[in-house]
Amino acid sequence: MDYRSAGVDIDAGNETVRRIRALARSTFTPGVLSEIGAFGGLFQLESGRFREPVLVASADGVGTKLKVAFLAGKHDTVGVDLVNHCVNDILMQGAEPLFFLDYLATGRLSPAVAESIVGGMASACRDNGCALLGGETAEMPGFYGDGEYDLAGFIVGVVDKTRLVNGRAIAVGDVLVGVPSSGLHTNGYSLARRIAFDQLGLTVDSHVPELGRTLGEAFLEPHRSYLPLVRPLLDGGRIKGLAHITGGGITENLPRVLPHGTAAVVDAASWEVPPIFRWLRQNGRVPVDDMMRTFNMGLGLVVVTARDKAEQLIEELAARGGRDARVVGKVVPGEPPSVTYTNLS
């Protein structure tokens, strides 16, 4: 008996590394000092660029959206999801990404599938200006089903201490500016899959008239990166707080950036909820409170700013591609920080 007969193919692993080496190298920025395959990735922070550099790190996964990728046999978008989600998370504190690492685990390694996944990651890293510095590919027979894998990402970014966005300046009377999402992003898929596949008996190839495309196309729409929109607006103190609307929806994520003594009131009628969320709610008969705590409902980012700066901020967001950004609520007195809704139906 040998390792291959036990389910681990070292040759497939080497072929995977060969395929992804060029993809990773295409993301390298001047700070990268190492090559793919080293035991550790080396990155040199540019001296003199930051007066008081603060490193910001985060880790995340794609969740059960991966199940949709398995069913569709489409693996190039989940890597984009992973990178953009992580980029957004550190952006909420004003950081720009430096480098990204991934962890890919599977039952039986397919070099072609791994190449597709990493290709998506590399594309997103290039778009966000960060380096895919390294990662780990683990073949674990008997642990994952055939054709299945798990994916996690780790990101490190930097922000000057004087430009940290920490929410401490948020005050009663400030307003909430909502920026549209591109769809479900990477959250709520356990519920979405149960409604679509289990309850309705649909497949990823089913065309849904209300959505104007197949279910697989709608469910695999990549997670949007907000870095190109927000990075140019971080100077000048106009942005007091940023909330990435991920798992838990607006209900759970917005309070994470509110200081004690404040709360938020969100007008649920102030933006148009995209068709995908209306379709899920109607077909799943999901209570509206659950919808607001499970999905982003069409807003992937909430920016907190002073009332007299909101209009200009919205104009600048629109000029950079953030169309349909709008005021969706306000900051009010409250303890502990929480969200209440008006016009919720």
Domain edges within the chain? 10-163, 175-342
Q: Is the peptide bond before 336 cis (omega within 30 degrees of 0)?
A: yes
pLDDT for res 237 = 84
CB 294 within 8 A of CB 191: yes
Q: Find the mean pLDDT for residues 327-332.
A: 98
How far is the CA of 286 from the CAs of 150, 199, 295, in angstroms? 28, 13, 11
Long-range contacts of residues 319-324, Cβ cutoff 8 Å, at least 24 apart: 320/228, 320/229, 320/232, 321/228, 321/229, 322/179, 322/180, 322/229, 323/180, 324/180, 324/271
pLDDT in tens, 24-49: 999 999 999 998 888 999 999 988 88
pLDDT in tens, 68-111: 999 999 999 999 999 999 999 999 999 999 999 999 999 999 99
Q: Please state, in angstroms and rounded to a whole number, the distance separating the CA atoms of residues 157 and 94.
A: 9
- Mean predicted lDDT score pLDDT of the chain: 94
pLDDT for res 61 = 96
Could you tell me the fold of the domain covering 10-163?
A: 60s Ribosomal Protein L30; Chain: A; (3.30.1330)
Q: Tally Cβ neighbours within 10 Å of residue 173.
A: 13
Q: Which amino acid is at 211?
A: L
Res 210 pLDDT > 70: yes
pLDDT for res 323 = 84
Res 236 pLDDT > 90: no
Q: Find the mean pLDDT for residues 209-227.
A: 97
**If you ran DSSP here, which 8-state letter would residue 197 be given?**
I
pLDDT for res 6 = 66
Could you tell me the fold of the domain covering 175-342?
A: Phosphoribosyl-aminoimidazole Synthetase; Chain A, domain 2 (3.90.650)
Closest CA to 178 of 323, 16, 339, 12: 323
Res 3 pLDDT > 70: no
Place of tokens 């919720």: 344
Q: Please state, in angstroms and rounded to a whole number, the distance separating the CA atoms of residues 48 and 130.
A: 19
Q: Please state, in angstroms and rounded to a whole number, the distance separating the CA atoms of residues 344 and 37.
A: 52
pLDDT for res 339 = 98
Compare 5 and 325 and report the one with higher pLDDT: 325
**175-342 has the same fold as 10-163:** no
Q: How far is CA 7 from the centre of its chain?
A: 33
Res 120 pLDDT > 70: yes
Q: Please state, in angstroms and rounded to a whole number, the distance separating the CA atoms of residues 226 and 197.
A: 31
Question: Of all residues in the chain, what percent carry a pLDDT higher than 90?
Answer: 88
Q: Please state, in angstroms and rounded to a whole number, the distance separating the CA atoms of residues 227 and 126.
A: 12
Q: Find the mean pLDDT for residues 201-224.
A: 97
